[in-house]
Amino acid sequence: MSRIKELRASLDQNLDVLECQALALEAQLTQTKDQALQRLEQCKQQLRDVLAKVLAEVQKSTEVAAYTRSEVQGKIQQLHVQLAGGKAEAGRAFEEQRAKILRALSQLETTADEKLTGAAYESGRVWEDLVVLASSLEAEFEAKRWRKNSASAGMSSGRSRSGGSVSVTTLRRK
């Protein structure tokens, strides 16, 4: 099993994902729209920060062929560009940004799993941090999507957004 798949499959990681989902949903329920959007932007910034560390680790690795290193660096930079995009508050723009970020993240993970070996990948907390922060960002996106959908459902049915309960597991899309 690949390194990233191992991390995602670990029990601790699964618990972290559930915690991220619960915190993101709680924030969407208790914070204003602007506060929740700020939380999403902070999560994106944290992921950009850890990407810089991942990039530095890949660049200094001598165990990886130059072509492979350049391919992984390209995926990291592609994800960084997507994360640096402006705030997408509108429904369609948000969904497009979300899809681009998650696709770039998936491509990075796949490329890293297929191409990287040795100390540049197997050791170090930086890859674990990447997986945890990626899971946090996914949870924030799903919670924002839930808020948008529940707000529009509440408007169309005349109900208030606060009426009813939500299961955290409804946020998980895998």
Work out whether the CA dihedral 136, 140, 24, 166 comes out positive or negative. negative
Measured CA to CA, the distance from residue 140 to residue 74 in angstroms comes to 25
Multiple choice CATH, 3-153, 1.10.287, 3.30.450, 1.20.120, 3.30.70:
1.20.120
On the CB side of 126, CA atoms within 13 Å amount to: 18
All structural domains of the chain with their residue ranges: 3-153
Q: How confident is the model at residue 128 (pLDDT cuts 50, 70, 90)?
A: confident
Q: pLDDT tens-digit profile of 67-101? A: 888 999 999 999 999 998 767 666 778 888 889 99
Give me 143's structure tokens.
């919670």
Q: What is the mean pLDDT of the chain?
A: 78
Residue 1 confidence (pLDDT): 60
